[in-house]
Structure 1
């Protein structure tokens, strides 16, 4: 049976997580014009690139953003940055089989983005924060051991 959960950063979760429960930290900085340039390439490359990094739900959202002429490059940059930071928060053994498309960044443009995926262990929580200013976007992911594992 596969386990898929969503987690987000909240005041309650922070209070319930001690510093001893932190298992990994990942930080990623993206220059948004770099993503914009990648997305402006040939349509064949665009499809290949986005299929490789976006979860199916993210891919569908990005496609609908393109149709409605929304700024999909910033959406893709957020997804990319969150997943890069998430990758950096994982142990080396889990990094070896990490696939960006297996992780879904739920509401990456909201004040409380979350991640979900089949690879989330029952005893871990991910805390996500994203900020951007002008051409730069920064994502931070803290991977912690859940207090539920000791109950």
Structure 2
């Protein structure tokens, strides 16, 4: 299948953590996550309070407990996927945050593209890979069109 575009992105997680200490996670999640992604977030982190900023630590990102680090990595990976999708689609189409959703099925991430955009851009399939290690989250997205 011909490739419409390839996009990659990396995010430094301490930068995202700093943002989440200044503003409640609800503001961030409502901006970048789709409704189904927000529901998955609440399912993954059932005790999470989205209405209060994350606590600041004297050691910064290194001082986060395991749950907070997991949350920041989770959100960072989704941010990176969406940024990679934007790069893969540009200049054919300029995506917005809600146009793309990341879902996991049996541990594998999948990209859901708004059907109207998929039709307009002739995208028939997408491939996504995301990872996080230490202070970084990384994602790669490929969009394919029919032969």
How does the TM-score come out when normalised to structure 2?
0.71
Partner in structure 2 of residue 80 of structure 1: 79
Match of residue 62, structure 1, among 28, 34, 41? 41
1:112-151 equivalence runs, <5 A: 112-118=108-114, 119-121=117-119, 123-147=123-147
Q: Which runs of 5+ in 1 are unaligned?
A: 1-16
Q: Which runs of 5+ in 2 are unaligned?
A: 49-66
Partner in structure 2 of residue 24 of structure 1: 5
Note the C-alpha offset of 1:123. Answer: 4.3
- Please give the secondary structure, in 2, of the residue aligned with 1:60: helix
Per-residue displacement from partner, 1:39-83 (whole Å, max 9, x unpaired)?
22233xx32222110011112232344443543221111111000
- Please give the secondary structure, in 2, of the residue aligned with 1:115: strand
Count of residues paired in the alignment = 123
Q: Is the 8 A contact 1:22 1:143 kept in 2?
A: yes
CA RMSD between the two structures: 2.3
Per-residue displacement from partner, 1:105-150 (whole Å, max 9, x unpaired)?
012993x311113222354211111122211111111111135xxx
- Please give the secondary structure, in 1, of the residue aligned with 2:132: strand
